[in-house]
Amino acid sequence: MGMLEAILLTVITAATPLVLASIGELVTERTGVLNLGVEGMMVMGAALAFSATQLTGSPYLGILAGIAGGALFSLLFGFLTLTLVANQVATGLALTILGLGVSGQIGEPYAGMSGAKLQPIEIPVLAEIPFIGPLLFRQDIIFYLSIAIVAGVNWFLFRTRAGLKVRAIGDNHASAHALGIHVIRTRYLAVMFGGACAGLAGAQLSLVYTPQWVENMSAGRGWIALALVVFASWRPWRVLLGGYLFGAVSISQLHAQAFGIGIPSQFLSALPYAATVVVLILISHNRRTTLINTPASLGKPFVPDR
Amino acid sequence: MSDVGASGGSPLLAVRSLTKLFGSFAACNGIDLDIQPGETHALLGENGAGKSTLVKMLFGVLAPTSGEILWKGEPVRIASPGAARRLGIGMVFQHFSLFEALTVAENIALSLPPGISLSRVADEAATLSRAYGLPLDPKAHVADLSVGERQRIEIVRALLQNPELIILDEPTSVLTPQEADRLFETLAKLKAEGRSVLYISHRLEEVQRICDRATVLRHGKVTGACDPRRETPASLARMMVGSDVAAVSAAGTTVKGDVLLEANHLNAAARTPFAVSLKDICLKVRAGEVLAIAGVAGNGQGELFDALSGEFPVSDARAVSIRGKAAGNLGITARRLMGAGFVPEERHGHAAVPALPLSDNLVLARNQSDRKTFLAGGILGIIRNAVVRIASRRISETMDVRKSGEDPAAGSLSGGNLQKYIVGRELDRQPAVLIVNQPTWGVDAGAASRIRQALVDLAKAGSAVLVISQDLDEIFEVATEIAVISDGRLSNAYPAQDMTREKIGLLMGGMHGSETSPEAAHAH
């Protein structure tokens, strides 16, 4: 395996959790709900996935536990913001803080244990392609899922009627309600999809990226995922692009240190955020593009008048 | 749909003592209403009379507190708009329930039953819109369309469901006379097909022109049912308001004085892709004059207001003069200090902060122009609450602002009352120049008449008044001079008595050679 291949492999591993958490949050935000609790849901997913794997010995059950944990945890956010109409920003922040705390409790008995690493699944024939094969077709299931979910979300949003309803709710929830679309129900489902994706991203962290449990192991990736959604201007394929770009930047800082390139690591760590600011400036420059892509009801509470 | 008209005598839709309570407030109180197959039925009433609440119940958006809705004689419960559509009721909302980020076809597809592909929706919409004379491009994004085109989407969307009853809420408030004519032709086609129309409006003349019967609402109750063609506008207005609506009187000769407001080759580039650039605008308003500027929405009215008020100053100082002094490059406060007053189009969020009480809104608008009156303590700028309260009460009394409590939040007032307060807030300063954009948009007849009279009176007292409006009735009521804005260009101003609706209609579209052909002109 060549040097470049090894680097690219680490980029893919670093990018996958970002892509997963972002694509989930993208769907949530497309319905007009801003869930800032991605970090909390992610770290819950990581803790649950690792402990379930330790208990059952099966990383696949661990993945399921991570997904279910993230989804259930997001349900709490959904209940507070959608049913009780609490402030979305405050609730999201609380979810993150709560998630970091609770996950520490869950993962504590397993701290320092080395876990069963999720084994790659080799896809016959394709895996034999030189260079690309080992990179893309000798990967773990979570990587395959991440690509499938991005493709699926893109297809769902722009090719299906349900996806059209999701976009309509995000654009104008009052009109959507007037048309008889179930705004709250759809938002619950979208919030839970976001939670499930964040939980899966967490499972990737504790089963693939670094197969062990460390407190706060999400290490800010949930926030990068949130920035990525804006970076992608709520377009699924751009999440993939952005996720790999950000993944590459975070990996390059490790390699830069290894090669002794004199760029302060803090500067490289800040790059994803700086890139987000630049993208925000670029997309806000063109009002029409913003208007058509940004969910106009994002963060606004909805109470049907009845 | 051809058999619908034949069911002689029994109503298509009947409403029996329908009531909707919000808390203890009865928005609709024991309403009875019959709509016959194939009739065009008007629902008349002032803002807050309960028209919207009633149709929302008919369309399943609101649930009635008590009472009964009968559809073809059968009692029905309309739980959702979907249920209403399945029965055969279509609705065109006043505030369009469109999704700006979606395309025309996507917007239409959302209200259709599942299982129809988007391309088929696009084809059907294009066919249907042509058949009813409402051309539409299914692939266009709604954000890029004009108000008139947006209304077409709403109508086509309702028609695609093949409804037996179509409810239209204030459909012509956003249209040119020619566009309105086209809409009336569409309505005539619907009627010929045996469909019923429930037509909500406060424009009496239209109701008389196209409706077979009218039901009048006031304070949530039915106050009259009549054949509008046998009534006069005055008698209809009396049923709506409960007393005679004061006709705006422009009587009494006014002496025209000096030019107080002047625009001299005013140019302004478009600030956003959706905006219109102002091109070489020249106008003069003398003391004692009311210059009304007619035009279809989105032809530069907002931009003209911004340039004249100083919300967006221009670089050429002499492009705008107030009382003979160059003001083009000055901001809004400086222009207010020169004796001008301004009332923008948007009440909520522009002319007033909805969540703040009226008194705070008064201070916000006038703390610079009347600093000495309202603020104490020099640079500290401490608000003199007592003075503000008195001024606020004076404005409310002068303009007959009806409100709940002494100093309620601006947003809690009805549109008409808030607008009266906002106009009164400017009039209270006795401005030498007053510039108003759409002064009575969405305002009920009583309030509109009060506001128009105030504008006429101000001019008679020797001020120069500029009114930008889409409402031709209003323009003919208040104006001494009329000009037309189209695509950012302003026509010459003509004396009001020399202008006709036809002439205005032609100027609205004809100047830049599209929109209108002479034969489409209004036959009035």
* Predicted pLDDT at B100: 86
| B322: three-class secondary structure by DSSP | strand
Q: Which helix (H) or strand (E) holds B74?
A: strand B74-76
Rounded CA-CA distance A217/A204 in Å is 11
The residue among A176, A171, A305, A170 whose CA lies nearest residue B56 is: A305
List the 135-174 stretch of A: residues with Cβ below 8 A of B: 161, 164-165, 167-168, 170-172, 174
Cβ atoms within 10 Å of B406's Cβ, excluding its own? 12
Judge: A178–B106 Cβ closer than 8 Å, yes or no.
no
Note whether residue A233 is domain-resident.
Answer: yes
pLDDT at A164 over 80: yes
Q: Which CATH number applies to B246-339+431-524: 3.40.50.300, 3.50.50.60, 3.30.460.10, 3.40.309.10?
A: 3.40.50.300
CA distance B204 to B225: 14
| Dist. CA A207–CA A199, nearest whole Å | 12
Mean predicted confidence (pLDDT) in B453-466: 92
Q: If you average pLDDT over residues B44-58, what whole number do you get?
A: 83
Identify whether A247 is part of a domain.
yes
Q: Whose CA is closest to B291, among B478, B450, B115, B153?
A: B478
Question: What SS3 class is residue B497?
Answer: helix
Length of chain B: 524
Q: In chain B, whose CA is at the least distance from the CA of A176?
A: B97
Q: A303 in contact with B at a CB cutoff of 8 Å?
A: no
Q: Spell out which residues of chain B touch residue A170, defining contact as CB-CB under 8 Å.
A: 101
Integer-rounded Cα Rg, in Å, for chain B is 24
- Say which residue the tokens 């809420």 belong to: B169
Q: Read off the tokens for B88.
A: 């055969």
pLDDT at B519 over 70: no
Query: How high is the pLDDT of residue A207?
Result: 94
Q: Would A119 be classed as within a structural domain? A: no
Do B246-339+431-524 and B4-241 fall under one CATH topology? yes
Three-state DSSP class for residue B28: strand
Which amino acid is present at B504?
I
pLDDT category, A251, cuts 50, 70, 90? confident
* H or E segment and range at residue B5: none
B486, B428, B437, B487: which is closest to B458 by C-alpha? B428
CB atoms within 10 A of CB B58: 25
Cα–Cα–Cα angle for B481, B482, B483, rounded to 5 degrees: 130
For B412, phi then psi, to 5°, come to -85, -10
Q: Residue B404: pLDDT above 50?
A: yes
Res B203: pLDDT: 74
Residue B118: enclosing H or E segment and its boundaries?
helix B118-131
CATH number of B4-241: 3.40.50.300
Q: Which of residues 139-168 of B touch A (CB under 8 A)?
A: 141, 143-144
Nearest to A94 by CA among A49, A20, A41: A41
Which tokens is B157 given?
A: 């969307």
Compute the average pLDDT of residues B119-140. Answer: 83
The ipTM assigned to this model is 0.82
Smallest CA–CA distance from A306 into chain B, residue = B62
> Which A positions 229-248 lie with beta carbon below 8 A of chain B?
none
Instruction: List the structure tokens of B238.
Output: 């009396």
CATH code for the domain of A157: 1.10.3470
Question: Are the beta carbons of A180 and B60 separated by less than 8 Å?
Answer: yes
3-state SS string over chain A?
Answer: CCHHHHHHHHHHHHHHHHHHHHHHHHHHHHCCCCCCCHHHHHHHHHHHHHHHHHHHCCHHHHHHHHHHHHHHHHHHHHHHHHHCCCCHHHHHHHHHHHHHHHHHHHHHHHCCCECCCCCCEECCCHHHCCCHHHHHCEECHHHHHHHHHHHHHHHHHHHCHHHHHHHHHHHCHHHHHHCCCCHHHHHHHHHHHHHHHHHHHHHHHHHHHCCECCCCCCCCHHHHHHHHHHHCCCCHHHHHHHHHHHHHHHHHHHHHHHCCCCCCHHHHHHHHHHHHHHHHHHHHHCHHHHHHHCCCCCCCCCCCCC
Candidates A161, A167, A174; nearest CB to B102: A167
Neighbours of B371 (CB within 10 A): 13
Most confident of B94-103, B253-262, B343-352: B343-352
Domain boundaries, chain B: 4-241, 246-339+431-524, 353-421
The pLDDT score that the predictor gives to residue B509 is 65
Whether residue A56 lies within 8 A of chain B, CB to CB, comes out as no
Q: Which residue shows structure tokens 């420059």?
A: A285
Residues in A closer than 8 angstroms to B82, CB to CB, are 179-180
Q: Which residue has the higher pLDDT, B233 or A36?
A: A36
**A62 is a domain residue:** yes
Model pTM above 0.95: no
Tens digit of each residue's pLDDT (9 = 90 or more) over A87-143? 999 999 999 999 999 999 999 999 888 877 788 898 888 888 888 888 899 899 999
| pLDDT-based confidence at residue B440 (cuts at 50, 70, 90) | confident
Quote the number of domains for chain A: 1
pLDDT at B411 over 50: yes
Q: Rounded distance, CA B243 to CA B241, Å?
A: 5
Residue of A nearest to B94 (CA): A175
Q: How far apart are CA B187 and CA B170, in angstroms?
A: 14
Is the predicted pLDDT of residue B518 greater than 50, yes or no? no
Q: Is residue A75 part of a domain?
A: yes
Q: Report if residue A123 sits inside a domain.
A: no
Helices (H), B6-117: 51-58, 81-87, 104-110
Q: Does B273 touch chain A (CB under 8 A)?
A: yes
B358 Cβ partners below 8 Å, 6+ apart? B392, B396, B403, B407, B408, B409, B410, B413, B421
User: Mean pLDDT, chain A, as a whole number?
Assistant: 90
* DSSP-based three-state secondary structure for B329: coil
Check A167 against B99: CB less than 8 A apart: yes
Domain limits for position A20:
3-112+138-293
The token duo for B310 is 């100083």
Distances (CA, A) of B488 to B112, B173, B291, B296, B475: 38, 21, 17, 11, 19
Structure tokens at B118: 């988007």
Residues found in chain A: 306
What is the percentage of chain B residues whose pLDDT exceeds 90?
39
- Is A298 inside a domain boundary? no
pLDDT per residue over B55-80, tens digit each? Answer: 989 998 889 999 999 999 999 999 88
Distance of residue B145 Cα from the nearest chain A Cα, in angstroms: 12
Q: Which residue has the tokens 């409810």?
A: B167
Closest CB from A161, A291, A306 relative to B114:
A161
Q: Can you give the pLDDT at residue B453?
A: 92
Contact between B99 and A174 using a beta-carbon 8 Å cutoff: no
Name the helix (H) or strand (E) containing B323: none
Residue A124 within a domain? no
Residue found by looking up tokens 């106008």 in the block: B283
